[in-house]
Structure 1
Amino acid sequence: MTDTTSAPSGKRPTRATDDLVRASLKRRNRKQVMIQALGLAAIIFAIGMLGILIASLVTSGRYAFTQTHVEISVFVDPEEISEERLPRGGFRDVLAVAMGQYFPEVDLSDRAAARALTAILSDGAQFQLRDMVAADPTLIGQTVRLRVPVSDPYDQLNKGLIARDTPEDRRRINDAEVERFDRLVELGLVSRPLNWALVANADSRFPELAGLKGALVGSFWALLVCFLIAFPLGIGAAIYLEEFAPKNKFSDFIEVNINNLAAVPSVVFGLLALAVFIGWFGMPRSAPFVGGMTLALMTMPTIIIATRVALKAVPPSIREAALGVGASKHQVVFGHVLPLAMPGILTGTIIGLAQALGETAPLLLIGMNAFITSAASTPFDSATALPTQIFIWADSPERGFVSRTSAAILVLLAFLITMNAIAIYLRSKFARKW
C-alpha cells in the first residue's frame, strides 16, 4: 500500500505529509534568508558607494575651506597714491615696494623682477589696498598692515598640492619662487586661516578669490520664485482634482498628463523656458526670475501628486462627519481636510524644492551659467546658481578650482540634506494616526 500526501479530514497527517511540509518550510526559509541577504547587501553597497562619494569630495574639497594668506607692511606712498587720484593710483607699485623690503636682493627697477614679487600676492591685493585707502584717505603717507591671499600656485604649494620634489620644469613655480615663499614662511608672515571668502565672495577668474556668494543668492531668488509660483498653483490644482473635479475622461486625461510631466527630463523644461519665456516673451537671460519660473514648471507636478496623496490619506469619516453637521463642501475641504493633510503637503513641497535646488540642465539652457562677479540684488539681475556654479568651476582649466568644485558640491549636499531633514521632521512631528 502506498503513502498518500494528504490525510482525510479530521485525521492526523501521515509521515509523508509531515516530510513535505518540513521540506516546504525549509525552502521558504531559505528563500526568505536569501531575500534578506540580498536586501542587506544592496543597502551595504549603497551606503558604501555613498561613503566613497563623500570621502572623495571631502578629500578633495577640504583644501578649499582654508586659504593661505600673507601679512605685509605697506607704506602708502603719497607720490604714488594721492587723495585727488583715488580710487586710481599706483597700488601695484606700492605693493612691489612692500614686498621688496623682504627681498632686498631684488632690483625693483626691473619690471619683470617686480612683477615676480607681486605675483606671490593674489591679483586682488591691489584692489583690497585700494578699498582700504578709499575708505580712509588718512592712511596715505602711513604704513599699514595688510593681510591678503597669496596667488593660487603659492596656495597650492603651501597646502602640499604642488610637490617640492617634482622636477622644476614640471612645476607651476620654479625653485627661486619656492625659496622666496619659504623666506616669507620663516619670517612668520604666512598663515592659513579658514577661507570665509568661499561664501563671502562672488565668482572670480582667480581661484584664490572665487566664492559662492553670487550662486547662493541666485539659488535663493530662484527657489523663492519657484515656491511662490508652484506652491499655491500646485496645491490649488490638487485640491480641485481630488475634491471638486468630476470624475470623467477629461479629468482622467489631466491626471495622466500630470503623472507624465513628473517623469519628463528636466532639460525639456529648460528648452520650453528658452523658447517661451526668453524667445516669445523676451525675458532676460541669466535672471533668477526666469530660472524660478522654469523650476516651478518642473516642481509643480511633484507638488500636485504629493498633495493629492496627502488629501487621500485623510479618512473619509472626517468628511462625512463635517458634512453631517451641516458644513458645505468648501468648509469641509478648507476647514477640516486641508489642515490635516498639510504635513504631507509641506513634506512633498520641500522635497520638490530640494530637487529643484539641485537641477542644472534647465538653468544652463536659460543662461544662468554666465560669469557674474557680484551677487544679484533682485530676481531680475543676472546671476548663477549653485549647480551651475559647480558646472562652471568643474569646466575651468585652473588647478585651484578642483578643490573649490568639491567644496561647492559639499555645500550643495548640505543644503539638500538639511531640506530633506526638515521634510522628515515635519512628517514625523505633525503626522496623524487614525
Structure 2
Amino acid sequence: MTDISTTPSSSIGSAGSALMKKRNRHQTVLQGLGLAAISFAALMLFILISSLVSTGYKAFYQTHIQLEVFIDPEQISADNLQRGNFDDVLLDSLKAYFPDVEGRADLRKLESILSNGAQFTLRDRVQADPSLIGETVTVNVPTSDDYDQLAKGMVDRDSPADQRKLSDRQIGWFDTLEKAGAVTQPINWALLTNADSRFPELAGLKGALVGSFWALLVCFLISFPLGIGSAIYLEEFAPKNKWSDIIEVNINNLAAVPSIVFGLLALAVFLGWFGMPRSAPLVGGMTLALMTMPTIIIATRAALKAVPPSIREAALGVGASKHQVVFGHVLPLAMPGVLTGTIIGLAQALGETAPLLLIGMNAFITSAPDTPLDSATALPTQIFIWADSPERGFVSRTSAAILVLLTFLVTMNAVAIYLRSKFERKW
C-alpha cells in the first residue's frame, strides 16, 4: 500500500487565517490611504476657498458718503450738463461738515475723500431728471480707494504717518463723517454693473462678463455642430481603416495639447493671415472652439458607443435607413452624454487664460462690448489684469472675480451632472 502524506488540517487553517489577516491588513491600509488622499484634497480645497472668501468678500460692499447736495444753477446749467461743475458742488456739500478747512491744498485733500467717479454719479442723476437743478437732493457717492480701505480696516491707524497714505488729519475727517452718520457701506453692485477702471473703487466685471458671453457664444456655435457632426460621422458612418485611425489618434492628441499652443495658432492664423480684429470676442471664441471641439468629439463618441447595438439592430430590422437609425434613435438616446460633454468643454473654455492673452483680450477696456467684433476682455484675463495692478484695492477685487468665475464653473458643471442624471437611461 502506498503511504500518502497529508498536511494536518490545523496547519491549513492557520495558514489560511494568516493569509486572510494579511489581506485584510492590506485592504485597511489601502482604505486609509484613500481616505487620507481625499481628506488632503478636501483640506486644500477648503484652504483655497477660505483664502479667496476672506480676501474677496470685502469687494462685495463699497464705502459711500451720503451728502445733501444743492444743485446750484450757477454752476450747473441744464443747457450744458457736460460742462457742469459737479465736483465743486459735491465739495461744497462736503465742506458743510468741515467749515474750518480752508486753503487750496487742504480743500484738495478734503475732496480726495470722494472717488473720481462721484461727480459722474451726480451728473447722471441730473441728466435723468434736469428738474433737480436748483433743488437739494440726497446722493450716495463712492469714496476713493484709500478711504474705502480705511473703512474696511485695511489701514493700520497705529502705524507711523509716513508709512500710510492718509495723514492723521485725513483719518480724523473720515471719523467725523462716520460719527455724523454720513458713511454707508451698501452692496457693491458696481462690481457687476461697471466695466474696468483705473480706480479700484469704480472697477467692475461687466465688460469681462459680456466679453466672456460673446466668446462662449461664438465657441458654442462653432464647436457644437462641428464636434457632434464629426463624432457622428467617425462613429457611425466612417469606414474603419488606417485613415480613420489616424484621424482618431490626432483628435485624442489635440485634446491633450496645451492651450497656449491654440493661442499661438490663433495669433498666427486669425490675426496674422486673416487680419481679424485684435482683442475681439469673435477671435477669442474661434480660438476656444478649436480647443473645445476635441473634447466634444470624444464625449459624443463615448455617448454614441454607450447606446446598445440592439437599438440599431431593431431599427434596421423594421426597415429604417442608416440615417434614420442614427438621427431618429441613437442620437436622441445619446444626447444626455453629448450635452454633458459640451457643457464641460465650455466650462473648460470659460476658464482658459493663455490663448486669450495671446490674441490681446487683456487690453484696458472701459466699456462692455456691444458686438463680438468690439474689443473686450474675459473673466480670466480680467483677473490677470487686476492681479497685476499695484493698487491695494484690486487685491480684494481679484479674489472676488475669482469667486465669480468659480461660481459660473460650478454652475455649469452642476447643470451637466443634472442633465446626465435626469435624462440618462440605464441599460
TM-based fold match above 0.5: yes
Contact 1:368 1:382 (8 Å CA) reproduced: yes
Query: Is 1:195–2:188 an aligned residue pair?
Result: yes
1:4–1:17 Cα contact (<8 Å) kept: no
For 1:4 and 1:250, locate their aligned partners in 2 and report how far apart those are by CA, in whole Å.
63
Matched with 2:15 is 20
- Give the deviation of 1:137 after TM superposition: 2.4
| Distance (whole Å) between structure 2 residues aligned to residue 409 and residue 335 of structure 1 | 43
Number of aligned residues: 425
Partners in 2 of 1:74 and 1:397 — Cα distance?
34
Asked if 1:49 corresponds to 2:44, the answer is yes
Residue among 284, 293, 300 paired with 2:293:
300
Q: Distance in 1 between matches of 2:143 and 2:190?
A: 13
**Structure 2 counterpart of 1:81:** 76
1:273 equivalent to 2:263? Answer: no
Please give the TM-score of this superposition, normalised by the length of structure 2.
0.97
Structure 1 residue matching 2:201: 3-state secondary structure = coil
SS of equivalent residue, structure 2 residue 68: strand
Partners in 2 of 1:4 and 1:289 — Cα distance? 82
**Matching of residue 139 in structure 1 with residue 132 in structure 2:** yes
Q: 1: distance between equivalents of 2:54 and 2:4?
A: 72
| 2:210 pairs with 1:217 | yes
Deviation at 1:2, TM superposition (A): 11
Out of 310, 313, 316, the residue aligned to residue 320 of structure 1 is 313
- Residue 36, structure 1, aligned to residue 45, structure 2: no
Is contact 1:3–1:16 with CA below 8 Å preserved after alignment?
no
2:314 equivalent to 1:331 = no
Deviation of 1:117 (Å): 1.3
Cα separation, 1, equivalents of 2:91 and 2:252: 64
Letter in 2 for 1:270: G
Q: 2:55 aligns with which of 44, 53, 60?
A: 60
Task: Check conservation: 1:310, 1:342, Cα contact below 8 A.
Answer: yes
CA distance 1:2–1:383, shift in 2 (3 Å)? farther
Does 1:178 find its partner at 2:167? Answer: no
Q: Is the 8 A contact 1:235 1:304 kept in 2?
A: yes
SS at match of 1:335: helix
Structure 2: give runs of 5+ residues left out of the alignment: none
User: What letter matches 1:45 in structure 2?
Assistant: F
Q: Determine the structure 2 residue equivalent to 1:264.
A: 257
> What letter corresponds to residue 199 of structure 2 in structure 1?
F
Q: What is the alpha-carbon root mean square deviation over aligned residues?
A: 1.4
Partner of residue 117, structure 2? 124
Which residue in the other structure is 1:9 paired with?
none
Q: In 2, distance between residues paired with 1:347 and 1:257?
A: 22
Percent of paired sites with the same residue:
75
Tell me if 1:154 matches 2:147.
Answer: yes
Offset at 1:90?
1.8
Indicate whether 1:291 and 2:284 are aligned: yes
Displacement of 1:15 in angstroms is: 2.6
In the alignment, residue 350 of structure 2 is paired with which amino acid?
L
Q: Report SS of the residue matched to 1:380.
A: coil
Q: What residue identity is the alignment partner of 2:166?
A: I
The residue aligned with 2:229 is 236
> Over residues 346-366 of structure 1, what are the superposed CA-to-partner deviations in whole Å (9 max), with x where a residue is unaligned?
000000000001000011111
Residue 22 of structure 1, CA deviation: 1.7
Q: How far apart, in 1, do the equivalents of 2:233 and 2:44 lie?
A: 42
Secondary structure of residue in 1 paired with 2:67 = strand
**Is the alpha carbon distance of 1:79 and 1:2 closer, same or farther for their aligned partners in structure 2, counting shifts above 3 Å?**
farther
Greater mean alpha carbon deviation, residues 165-174 or residues 406-415: 165-174
Compare 394-403 and 14-23 and name the one that shifted more: 14-23
2:238 alignment counterpart? 245
Give the C-alpha shift of residue 273 in structure 1: 0.5
Alpha-carbon separation, structure 2, partners of 1:357 and 1:32: 41
Structure 1 residues 3, 156: CA separation in 2 closer, same or farther (over 3 Å shift)? farther
AA at the equivalent of 1:112: A
Q: What's the secondary structure of 2:83's corresponding residue?
A: coil
1:204 is matched with 197
- Give the CA deviation at 1:20: 2.2
Correspondence 1:417-432 to 2 at 5 A? 417-432=410-425
Query: What is residue 66 of structure 2 aligned with on the other side?
Result: 71
CA contact (8 A) 1:262 1:298 kept: yes
Measure, in 2, the Cα distance between the counterparts of 1:171 and 1:88. Answer: 35
1:187-234 CA distances to partner (integer Å, 9 max, x unpaired)?
111111111111111111111111111111111111111011000000
User: Secondary structure of the equivalent of 2:360?
Assistant: coil
Q: 1:345 aligns with which of 328, 338, 354?
A: 338
Counterpart residue identity of residue 299, structure 1: T
Instruction: Give the superposition deviation at 1:411.
Output: 0.6
Q: Distance in 1 between matches of 2:27 and 2:86?
A: 75
**TM-score, with normalisation over the residues of structure 1?**
0.96
Distance 1:280 1:338 in 2: 38
- Give the drift of 1:32: 1.0
- Contact 1:75 / 1:141 at 8 angstroms: preserved in 2? yes
**What are the Cα deviations for residues 168-191 of structure 1, in whole angstroms up to 9, with x where unaligned?**
111121100000001111111111
Q: Measure the CA separation in 1 of the matches of 2:6 and 2:410.
A: 61
Using the TM superposition, give the Cα deviation of residue 128 of structure 1 relative to its aligned residue in structure 2, in angstroms. Answer: 1.4
- Tell me the CA shift for residue 19 of structure 1: 2.3
Letter in 2 for 1:44: S
Mark the runs of 5 or more structure 1 residues left unpaired by the alignment.
Answer: 6-12
Shift of residue 111, structure 1, vs aligned partner: 2.3
Is 2:363 aligned against 1:373? no
